[in-house]
Amino acid sequence: NFILTQPHSVSESPGKTVTISCTGSSGSIASNYVQWYQQRPGSAPTTVIYEDNQRPSGVPDRFSGSIDSSSNSASLTISGLKTEDEADYYCQSYAGSNREVFGGGTKLTVL
Amino acid sequence: EVQLVESGGGLVQPGGSLRLSCAASGITFSTFWMHWVRQAPGKGLVWVSRINSDGSSTSYADSVKGRFTISRDNAKNTLYLQMNSLRAEDTAVYYCARQWEPMFDYWGQGTLVTVSS
């Protein structure tokens, strides 16, 4: 089974830049698009990045996504951190056999 | 405005059944693949099931295969999840989500299913 692994938590100060990784367990993570979702407590997830590096309308350009084939990882980078960015972030991709997979989620603390 | 509204959650005993519904509005429901995603209390998102636009193809996570059935009624703009033989580990908030290209672009607010005696 294809698994996406994320760090459990990251923290950074307001105004700084943070990067959250998402590592694929097998194959090439570049073979299928990776999406990133933000989830605040008590709310449904919302998309911040789709198709590896595309931002939906309304998502600030402080959010960016990338793929590193050498490490078989996707990354979400948030620059100019704001306290409102504090949330859980999940990567998601196609797992094959008509199934989808989410990473375990990363809790971002902006302190 | 696009809205997905789940219903049907509640408390059920182990081994029991429940049917969740997801009513869609503001979208051409019949043209989109739909998914169920769940989240156990304090845990992460887990993909559960998906159905294609006309209901002819379905897929399931191994953890629910053989116990859950996804279906849809395009005339009623509604997605369903029939859950049988429920276990304590099925306790979660269940979200329906619309798939657009590779992403889930619209999500419902979720409905809580609690499996407990």
User: pLDDT tens, A47-100?
Assistant: 999 999 999 999 999 999 999 999 999 999 999 999 999 999 999 999 999 999
Residues in chain B: 117
Region of B110 (left: φ > 0; alpha: ψ -120 to 50; beta: rest) is left
CA A30, CA A111: separation in Å to the nearest integer?
A: 33
Flag if A50 and B37 touch (Cβ within 8 Å).
no
pLDDT attached to residue B12? 98
Reported as type and span, the H/E element at residue B65 is none
pLDDT band at A18; cut points 50, 70, 90: very high
CA A27, CA B63: separation in Å to the nearest integer?
A: 23
Q: Identify the residue whose tokens are 């979200």.
A: B95
Q: Are B112 and B8 in contact (CB under 8 A)?
A: no
Partner A contacted by B72 (CB < 8 A): no
Q: Are B46 and A37 in contact (CB under 8 A)?
A: no
Flag if B104 and A101 touch (Cβ within 8 Å).
no
Q: Are A109 and A92 in contact (CB under 8 A)?
A: no
Q: Are B70 and B19 in contact (CB under 8 A)?
A: no
Q: How far is A25 from chain B (nearest CA, A)?
A: 17
Structure tokens at A82: 């704001």
Question: What are the residues facing A21 on neighbouring strands?
Answer: A75
Measured from the Cβ of residue A47, the count of other Cβ atoms closer than 10 Å reads: 21
Q: Identify the residue whose tokens are 């990251």.
A: A10
Q: Are B19 and B84 in contact (CB under 8 A)?
A: no
Q: How far is B64 from chain A (nearest CA, A)?
A: 13
pLDDT tens figures, B73-116: 999 999 999 999 999 999 999 999 999 988 999 999 999 999 99
Which among B47, B50, B95 has the least Cβ separation from residue A101?
B47
Q: Are A48 and A40 in contact (CB under 8 A)?
A: no
What mean pLDDT value characterizes chain B?
97
CA nearest to A32 within chain B: B102
